[in-house]
Amino acid sequence: MMFGGELSAQLATACLGIGLVFALLCYLTTNLSPGGMITPGWIALALIEDPLQAVVIVVMTVVTYLLTRVMQRYVILYGKRLFAAIVLLGVFLQLTLFVIVQRDFPLLFSHQTLGFVAPGLITYQLVRQPPKATILATLMVTAITYGVAFSGIVAGLVPAT
């Protein structure tokens, strides 16, 4: 874990807020959603707390995306049905992983309430938008959010724990 103990509520709120601002700016300037509006802030928070959590989100997003593409071959999915199916699939996969590894790696899923939804949100945007552009937008907005949030911690403006 990058910071000992649990992260403060102020840091979590700041990360989500900073991520929302930059995600909105990204959307308004490029017309691309960076994996959903809350996703960059959530991934930045995961990177600050424990980079392995961010790796889990990325891996689960890839698995969710691949299974979504398979599912689309057999089920007619569009609009709200597509969104619900992808988010539910992502949550199901995250919960399955949680049940399998939580005894051996309990810290891997701390603060994961929103983290269970993140892979589905990213996958939904990967399906709706050009995947390469979505990945680039998500990486850029997450990096900016991480940089601003981490700078706030270093400067002492936001308590880490």
d(CA 70, CA 160): 41
CA–CA distance from 36 to each of 29, 83, 142 (Å)?
15, 12, 11
The pLDDT value recorded for residue 134 is: 96
Tokens of 12: 């979590």
Cβ pair 53, 108 in contact under 8 A: yes
The pLDDT value recorded for residue 95 is: 86
List all residues 6 or more positions away from 101 whose beta carbon is below 8 Å from its beta carbon.
Answer: 108
* Residues with pLDDT less than 70, the chain: 1-7, 105-114, 159-161
pTM: predicted TM-score of the whole model, two decimal places: 0.85
The pLDDT value recorded for residue 83 is: 95
The pLDDT tens digits of the residues spanning 112-145 come to: 666 788 999 999 999 999 999 999 999 999 999 9
